[in-house]
Structure 1
């Protein structure tokens, strides 16, 4: 404590109730010209003139003892030089020490003005420091709020690829944050003409909407930007021309270096270009380009309409960053649309491919059917019969079940063709095929045209007796057709001779073993007089 008071700019004196000096700080020792050793333990009277001694004992100390403190008491001290020094005294009693002490702060009158000036300077410096701290705190708050706004808009961009939704939320949040009178987004048309429309907007009180305004009028707000910013940077205007100006000349108070109007791409009639801001009572504005790659897709407008507004650098930086985020949303949405278009094209191509494959499958099935079908009778042909015989032979060999083959042809068919003609002969073969197909009702049974007027039937899981019954049924069904055959020696109608073979497949035989046997049986039927069924026998 004493060390701190020794470094104080004012004098510091500690007395007990008897007036004995307990401590004198370095500042007061310098003022009085005494040393600590000279004064410590002495009565205070040694540094007080006679009048001051009387005043101390009769007024100052009694007042200090009664109230516990004294303020701004005028007194004189006598230094070692003998020239009295007028001072101001502030004091208080210290009850926390034993014994109780009286602490006095002594300021020479001649130093009072200097101290007051220093106090005022210190107070002003403190106020400046407090103000700077408040501004720094406010800047941090604004920076945090800006980061929060950017994060919210960025989150909306990540959560949605719908530009209408993104822009609607963005203009509302920007308008609320900047307290601007109008925040709007303009999109250029996809055409070589300089035209477009406003697609999103957020308004303050009593501000005209751009969405419902005439399209021709609002386009001048966009061409106004093009007339002044050819480099694609943000346009900052804190003071637009007076609304009453008719010559269209523009005055700026911009934080950005504006493009020289003589070198800009401004329309020839500058008054028309200025018409947009004047028409919508815009006094201050920020215009930031929204980019799609290197192309200007549209514009972000920040308008102040009620009064001019000097745009702060942090506000300009914020709008520039937000425009960058919205440009990113535009690029993402464009990429998404491209991907959707590619996906639709891929789906269309896949659908076409599926259709082509289906057509190919149908065509292939039709070709296979044509390859396996007899063109005249529309039943299976010899090729299809061979494949089916191999399949049934292998299956019945595993199951050790009987397989029967019926081989038949038309009796005296050459004479029939010679008598009735080949067309009628073809019709006769078709009728025989249909009649035979109706007899073999099981799905596993298989009828094929074997060649010329020869037909063959596969009867899986059918023993000899069953095969003979089916063969006889087929022969009678053809007779029942009553197809005239006046040149046949055996009957007046078309008849069949049928050979039948039945066996259980073994490894010693081949699939054509029963066919060969049926052919031999057919030969035996013909030798026996035709129009009959003949089973094979060794």
Structure 2
């Protein structure tokens, strides 16, 4: 029978109690602390503290651990979780990897992974753990600490995004200064945008003299999503729509199934396997040179402000490159 958070742990199937051990030994191993009232720390620590069996049940848990996982009490957590790997870990193989390392190492500090709360939301945690063994060296149970690092990971993610955005903008700007090959600049742009946004399709749509759209470059997650040879007659953009884009209009659709866009345009997106779409105009000197477009084809997607801003900045750089290319072609024609 499993005991609650205030009693020494009993291993499932054992006739007697395991010799009481210090549940904060993992804490002291990774973060030395003064000898004090460890039971008081166990109950009032801001970090989660636990003991668990090798087959994935909690033997003991403190209030902070229950709160991290979204349960009302340690007892509810202990009673609700029968398999830590499948019920708590986003990737159950991470739990297996943790235990494999504890087979070889005396203790493990700073293991980062994602877990699921009771309500299904996802958290990042930092886990430190050790294996408690019997006199023959067999693992009796594990004990350790859990820290919620979701906010820190979010901040790190924002910082990485900012660094990646600045790198991408600098890279495209440098290429424009060094090259007059517009196709090369456009291809680099769509490739790097798709990678940064982790989306399915990014391409540039340009317009011929009749207003029909065509795709000179694209970057796709797999070949079946290619639209490079597709005839995009009118691209479902009426004259009024092109005027709106010329004025700087941004089209961000998170889910075409709930979009208020014209039916003809939604049908086109369906034909292209699109679920979410982000469209930014490429404008230079009051001319609509084209559109920079990102498509998400696997699920709805709420486009973030930084993603819209990034495409706007890149579209401005692409407009410079296109204008530069046109001037060069005009010069070549005059010299011919």
TM superposition score category, shorter chain reference? 0.5 to 0.7
Which residue number corresponds to residue 51 of structure 2?
none
Report the Cα distance in structure 1 between the residues aligned to 2:180 and 2:254, rounded to whole angstroms.
Answer: 34
Which residue number corresponds to residue 160 of structure 2?
141
Which residue number corresponds to residue 181 of structure 1?
200
Report the Cα distance in structure 2 between the residues aligned to 1:220 and 1:135, rounded to whole angstroms.
Answer: 38
Report the Cα distance in structure 2 between the residues aligned to 1:271 and 1:227, rounded to whole angstroms.
Answer: 17
For 1:207, which of 209, 214, 224 is the aligned residue?
Answer: 224
Inter-CA distance 223–172: structure 2 relative to 1 (3 Å threshold): farther
Inter-CA distance 129–104: structure 2 relative to 1 (3 Å threshold): closer
Report the Cα distance in structure 1 between the residues aligned to 2:176 and 2:278, rounded to whole angstroms.
Answer: 22
**In the alignment, structure 1 residue 319 sits paired with structure 2 residue 311:** yes
Q: CA deviation at 1:293?
A: 1.4
Inter-CA distance 327–171: structure 2 relative to 1 (3 Å threshold): same
Q: CA deviation at 1:225?
A: 9.6
CA contact (8 A) 1:161 1:332 kept: yes
**In the alignment, structure 1 residue 166 sits paired with structure 2 residue 190:** no
Query: What secondary structure does 1:319 align onto?
Result: helix
CA contact (8 A) 2:279 2:291 kept: yes
Report the Cα distance in structure 2 between the residues aligned to 1:104 and 1:128, rounded to whole angstroms.
Answer: 21
Alignment of 1:288-367 (within 5 A): 288-342=280-334, 344=335
Which residue number corresponds to residue 265 of structure 2?
273
| TM-score (normalised: structure 2) | 0.54
Which residue number corresponds to residue 106 of structure 2?
none
CA contact (8 A) 1:287 1:299 kept: yes
Which residue number corresponds to residue 237 of structure 1?
253
CA contact (8 A) 2:213 2:235 kept: no
Report the Cα distance in structure 1 between the residues aligned to 2:208 and 2:218, rounded to whole angstroms.
Answer: 18
Report the Cα distance in structure 1 between the residues aligned to 2:322 and 2:332, rounded to whole angstroms.
Answer: 15
Q: CA deviation at 1:329?
A: 0.7
User: RMSD over aligned Cα, in angstroms?
Assistant: 3.5
CA contact (8 A) 2:278 2:295 kept: yes
Deviation per CA, 1:404-446, whole angstroms, max 9, x where unpaired?
A: xxxxxxxxxxxxxxxxxxxxxxxxxxxxxxxxxxxxxxxxxxx
Unaligned runs of 5+ in 1: 1-69, 73-102, 243-249, 253-269, 349-538
Alignment of 1:376-395 (within 5 A): none
Q: CA deviation at 1:314?
A: 1.7
Which one scores higher on RCO, CA 8 angstroms, separation ≥ 6? 2
Comparing both structures, which one devotes a greater share of its residues to helix? 1
| TM-score (normalised: structure 1) | 0.35
Report the Cα distance in structure 1 between the residues aligned to 2:330 and 2:242, rounded to whole angstroms.
Answer: 32
Query: What secondary structure does 2:202 align onto?
Result: strand
Report the Cα distance in structure 2 between the residues aligned to 1:142 and 1:286, rounded to whole angstroms.
Answer: 18
For 1:116, which of 43, 60, 75 is the aligned residue?
Answer: 43
Report the Cα distance in structure 2 between the residues aligned to 1:104 and 1:301, rounded to whole angstroms.
Answer: 61
Query: What secondary structure does 1:307 align onto?
Result: coil
Inter-CA distance 340–129: structure 2 relative to 1 (3 Å threshold): farther
Report the Cα distance in structure 1 between the residues aligned to 2:264 and 2:163, rounded to whole angstroms.
Answer: 41
Deviation per CA, 1:85-107, whole angstroms, max 9, x where unpaired?
A: xxxxxxxxxxxxxxxxxx97459
Q: CA deviation at 1:157?
A: 1.5
Inter-CA distance 240–106: structure 2 relative to 1 (3 Å threshold): closer
Query: What secondary structure does 2:277 align onto?
Result: strand
